[in-house]
Structure formats: structure tokens, C-alpha cells
Amino acid sequence: MHLHILGICGTFMGSLAILARELGYKVTGSDANVYPPMSTQLKEQGIAITQGFDPDQLEPAPDLVIVGNAMSRGNPAVEYVLNKGIPYTSGPQWLAEHVLKDKWVMAVSGTHGKTTTTSMLAQILDYAKMAPGFLVGGVPENFGISARLGETPFFVIEADEYDSAFFDKRSKFVHYHPRTLIMNNLEFDHADIFPDLAAIQRQFHHLVRTVPSEGLIVYSDCEPLKGVLEQGCWTPTQAIQAGAIKSAESGKGRWSTQMLREDGSRFKVLLNDEAVAEVNWSLSGQHNVANAVAAIAAARHVGVTPEIAAQGLAEFRNVKRRMELRGEVDGVKVYDDFAHHPTAINTTLDGAKAQLALDPHLQEGEGRIIAVIEPRSNTMRLGTLQAQLIDCTQHADEAFWYQPPGLDWNLGSVVANAPVPSELVGDLEHLIVRLVEVSRPGDRIVVMSNGGFGGIHQKLLDALACKP
């Protein structure tokens, strides 16, 4: 059977393509924007990709077209599929019917940290010899691939609240029917499809309604998620508070942490105020600590002890494009990070700053965090969260904002009111020149974008290598 995927280079659709290929289907696909790591991964899997959406790619007609949620009416390939009556479905629907059916689904949802937490949970189960299947919206370094079917009934999936397709405006995650559900956090995002936070909470409540009464919901003890559960919950819950427990209900599992190192690279995990594990790993940042505890709690639901889970996390390597070190030249390190929401930018820089402060190779006063940000997501392009962007670089020493073509608003006000020295640049080559000029040994340049950013990472490393 031949499947053709429209929008195949998205992190979800690319992962789905790998699962379909593993199931024995012939898989092809097309996309308008093709860049690593997904394009590289698909090429390694032998999956043919067509650039663009010319209808010729659908001749001869495939048996089924899987339509990515980035596709809309008016797209030439979409119109051809409809006019010719070629069978089509959404990615989440196909996944539910062909992969997740009869699986113990462990879903990871939330505004931030889904990809990292999904990867952590898959790593824990794999370390515990449970050989899970998984679908991650990125490429976990521990596995070198974003999806696999697995050898057991357990399947770990990143559960996105974005819509399923132009013909199915429900969130992707309502198709997954998890038995174990993590809800990491919840903030307003995706302003292109959600009018307000309440609309997103409704979608999360639709997800909660699908979790069986013999399942488990692990949730961050924050007001938006408590509001979701107050709409109705028929499943046991366990609350996580990164630090002291504030308001988790008595009689339920209560998870918290005790920091043993300020940067979060070593901490104790507590269940109902009793220490059950200690994590000593290579990651940093309070956000990653919270992600880890959520993964430990979910893994416990399928029989993995917190102690074994902590051992698995000690060997955890983060996902590509999550503070991924792309290279170092003359003491200047260049990182690639996927952060594209004000909160994610803030927590990423906070973790980077804390880690920098504990670097034994730096003398006092050496080393700075230089943030380089491209506001590229749909929400950022609309300017909905521009007020929150003003303070999101507070943990950097200096920030450079890139004004990409097509941005619907000017970043000038963000730069003018920023808490750290900031600069607005509209030309990529000039941005690289400025970064080379200001950088010095010990600096960490953190490049943040959810796109390819014009290949800035390697271009910057090449330019640093030529610095006199």
C-alpha cells in the first residue's frame, strides 16, 4: 500500500512516515520547507521527498494521502486530492487506527517541554528493558530516530494540542486515548487557532475525558491545569510541584524535588515528602527538573521504580535542537535551541545561565550568555505575546533579535524595553558579523528558533573560525 504524506517534514508527520515505513508501507511525501533534522532523518530512512506541492506528485495516485495540519484549502495538492476523490485522512487519525490501537499509550502534553519529556520517558522505559514504541517531535539523541514501533504494548507519544487537519479542527491528542497522561504545564499559545486560554483548556479537558478510570494523570500543580481538571476528571491524578508542595490535594500522589545543585544537574525526587530517588545527570534548568519528575511519575505507573528511572535519566541525552551544542571555536560555544515562546526562551536562558555559573573552566567574570532569537512561530508572527517577549531575555547578558521577512509587527519596542543590552537586526549576514564582533572566549551563544534560521549555526561557526 502506498501512502503519500503532504507536509512530511514537520516533526510529527516525519515521525509518522517512519512508523508507516516500519509497518511495511511504501511511503513518499512532499513539503515546502525541507531542513534538518527531519529531512536528514527521512533521507536516511530511504523516504523520497518532493519539494513543493505540484499535483504531478500524486500521479499515479497513492492508495491514501495523509494530510498534514499545515495544509489548507487552495494548496494545489490538496485541491487535486479532493477533485480526484483520492482517499485521505489526518495524521493523528491514521496513527490512532494503525499504530496506537491496542497499545498502552503514554501521552505527554503541555505548552512547553513535550518533546523533552517524551524523550525522557521513552529513555526510562528503554533503560528498564521495556522496549517501548515512541513518537517524538524531534530526534532524541539516545535513539537517533524520532519514532519506532517498539516490541511491547507500551507506546510513548508527544501529545500536541495543535489541530489535526484543515478538515478536523480537534487537537491532535484527542485521537490518542492515553492510559497514562502527563500534562506538563499550560499557557496561551497557538494564537492562530485558539482565541484565548479557555479555548485551549477545553481541548485539554476533551483529552482528560478520554483517559480511563484505571489510568493515571500526572499534572503540574498550576492554575490553568487545575482549571482543566475542575471541569471534570474521572481518573486518579498525581500532582507535581517543582520544589515544595503548595496545593496538591491530600490523599493523592504528590511529587516534589529537593535541589542538590543550583543548576538542577543533581536533585532528589520526593513522593509524598519521602525521598524515592536521586537524579544526577548532564541537563540543567528548573524546567528540565520538572520534566524529569513528570517522566519518573509516569514510568512508575507502568512498573518502573523511581530509582531505576533515575538511573535511566543519568544516561539521558537531550533531543536535537534542545540546547544542542553545534560547535565551539576559540572558546565560544554555539547552541541551537527550539524555544519559540516567551516562557520557553526565559527558562532556556535561565538554565544556560545557571550551568555557566558552575563551569569550572571559567574564571570569575568570564563567560556570557548571548541570546539570538528569531520569532518565527505563528503565534510570534501575529505579535500576540509581544508584551511577554520584553522580559524573556532577562537571564542573558546580551540579546540579538532577528526581524524575519513577513513578521506582521516590528520588534523595535521589544528591543527598546529589554532588560539587557539588545540589538535588532534585519539581515542575516549582518547578524553573523555582529555576533563575531561581540563574542569572546567563554561566551555561549544560544540561537533560538523553531525553523532553520537560514543555516545560521554553521555560518556563525565558520565566521568565528575566520575571526582574526
pLDDT digits (tens, 9 = 90+) for 163-175: 999 999 999 999 9
Contact 88, 64 (CB under 8 A): yes
Nearest alpha-carbon partner for 71 in 38, 36, 40, 32: 32
Angle between helices 342-357 and 286-301 (to 10 degrees): 100
Q: Which residue has cell 480537534?
A: 170
**E strand or H helix at 80:** helix 76-84
3-state secondary structure of 84: helix
So what's the pLDDT on residue 41?
84
Once rounded to an integer, what is the mean pLDDT over residues 322-327? 85
CB crowding 118-141: b at 16 or more within 10 Å, else e: bbbbbbbbbbbebebbbbbbbbbe
**Would you place residue 445 in the very low, low, confident or very high pLDDT band (cuts 50, 70, 90)?**
very high
Q: Is the pLDDT of residue 428 over 60?
A: yes
When pLDDT is cut at 50, 70 and 90, the band that residue 252 belongs to is: low
Q: Has domain 324-465 been given CATH number 3.30.70.3420?
A: no
**Which pLDDT does position 35 carry in this prediction?**
65
pLDDT of amino acid 454:
84
Higher pLDDT, 463 or 364: 463
DSSP E strand boundaries for 38-85:
48-51, 64-67
Q: Range(s) for CATH 3.40.50.720 in the chain?
A: 2-90
Is 247 a residue whose pLDDT tops 90?
no
Three-state secondary structure string covering 140-208? ECCCCCCEECCCCCEEEEECCCCEEECCEEEEHHHHCCCCEEEECCCCCCCCCCCCCHHHHHHHHHHHH
Nearest to 92 by CA among 30, 155, 162: 162
pLDDT value of residue 18:
95
Hey, what CATH topology would domain 2-90 get?
A: Rossmann fold (3.40.50)
The CATH class given to the 102-314 domain equals alpha beta
Q: Which runs of consecutive H residues, i.e. helices, occur in 283-441? A: 286-301, 306-314, 342-357, 378-382, 386-389, 412-416, 428-438
List every span in the chain annotated with CATH 3.90.190.20.
Answer: 324-465
Grid cell 575566520 — which residue? Answer: 466
Out of 208-217, 324-333, 359-368, 385-394, pick the least confident: 359-368
- Do residues 370 and 460 lie in contact, with contact meaning Cβ atoms separated by under 8 Å? no
The predicted structure's pLDDT at residue 36: 67
Report which of residues 354 and 149 the model is more confident about: 149
CATH 3.40.1190.10 residue spans of the chain: 102-314
Bridge partners, residue 423, by sequence: 400
Task: Kindly indicate the confidence band of residue 390, based on its pLDDT and cuts at 50, 70 and 90.
Answer: confident
Please answer whether residues 111 and 134 qualify as being in contact, where contact means their C-beta atoms are separated by less than 8 angstroms. no
Quick one: pLDDT at residue 242? Answer: 53
Task: For residue 272, give the DSSP letter.
Answer: T
Supply the pLDDT for residue 249.
43
Residue 107, classed as helix, strand or coil, is: strand
Rounded to whole angstroms, the Cα distance separating 379 from 386 reads 10
Judged against a pLDDT cut of 80, whether residue 280 lies above it is answered with yes
407 or 373: which leads in pLDDT: 373
Q: Residue 122, SS3?
A: helix
Omega prior to 441 cis, within 30 of 0: no
Angle at 155 between CA 149 and CA 161, to 5 degrees: 110
Amino acid occupying residue 220: S
Q: Would you say residue 425 has pLDDT above 60?
A: yes
Average pLDDT of span 100-107:
96
User: In percent, how much of the chain has pLDDT > 70?
Assistant: 95
Q: Do 298 and 180 form a contact (C-beta atoms < 8 A)?
A: yes
Rounded to an integer, the average pLDDT of 399-415 is 83
How would residue 80 be classed by pLDDT, with cut points 50, 70 and 90? very high
